[in-house]
Amino acid sequence: MLNGLGNFQRILVLGGKSELANSIMSQLPIASDAKVILCGRNTANIPQLKTLANHQVQELEIDFSSVELAIDLVENVFKTSEIDLVLFAFGVLGNEVNQLSRDIVKEVLNINFFSQAQLLAVVYKNLATQMHGQILYISSVAAIRPRRRNFVYGASKSGVDFFARGLQKLSKGDNVFITILRPGFVHIKMTAGLSAAPFATEKDVVARIAVKGLMRKKPVVYAPRILILVMFMLRILPERVFRILDK
């Protein structure tokens, strides 16, 4: 639960190696006695933030492609401690050139959709049981409308984005708040070598917007903010016009 200063005390990061997650953590108000659990596939490669140097940090190895094992590990976390904030930051981008490869489709949908949706349900139920807590789910503007070069990734994000919005409708009255972050193209290692989309931005800018939205308990935030207008326009564009822009 947030302490009297509005600082988080118990934080679970699903995707501890995520550059965006680490940037968010560096700007998040964290209590001096906070406990942070960083989860990832290979804990040896999870970066240690300078901002967490004086906090209790636990590294938990989780392979998010093994959904049932991941669920069990997350359930065990809630058995040992109440959690104030859960940050969903794991995922894979796939391959734009060969996105219909059987292995790529399987990996993207399994990790980005099936694993995240099931873990969202588990986390939400545990937060509802303890009657407090927040979730920050990192979605993407790719979830808004399918594009030719990344529609498999967009489909996976769209599914969980829809799922998270459904959970928001359930969360009335149980003191659980879900914030969906929809960033555009972010300059990080994951996107290195890809052609930057319009309004591309830096991870620190996204993190600042995310933290502000989280503290204000906003249901959906876009980063950068201009994407609110851009995505509204893309939603209403006729398909024939959108096809021309999507070349």
With b meaning 16 or more CB within 10 Å and e meaning fewer, what string describes 78-96?
beeeebbbbbbbbbbbbbb
* Per-residue tens of pLDDT for the chain, all 247 residues: 566 556 899 999 999 888 899 999 999 999 888 999 999 887 666 665 556 666 788 999 999 999 999 999 999 999 999 999 999 999 998 887 888 899 999 999 999 999 999 999 999 999 999 999 999 999 999 999 888 888 999 999 999 999 999 999 987 778 999 999 999 988 887 777 777 777 788 999 999 999 999 999 999 999 999 999 988 888 887 788 767 776 7
8-245 CATH choice from 3.30.450.20, 3.10.310.40, 3.40.50.720, 3.20.20.105: 3.40.50.720
Question: Which stretches of the chain are assigned E, i.e. beta strand?
Answer: 8-14, 30-40, 56-61, 85-88, 133-138, 176-183, 220-223
The span from the CA of 195 to the CA of 220, in Å, is 26
Query: Bridge-partner residues for 58, per DSSP?
Result: 37
* Domain definitions of the chain by residue range: 8-245
Q: Could you give the dihedral angle defined by the CA atoms of residues 209, 211, 212 and 218, in that order, rounded to the nearest 10 degrees?
A: 100
Does the model's pTM come out above 0.85? yes
The span from the CA of 51 to the CA of 117, in Å, is 30
Q: For residue 22, how far is the Cα from the chain centroid?
A: 12
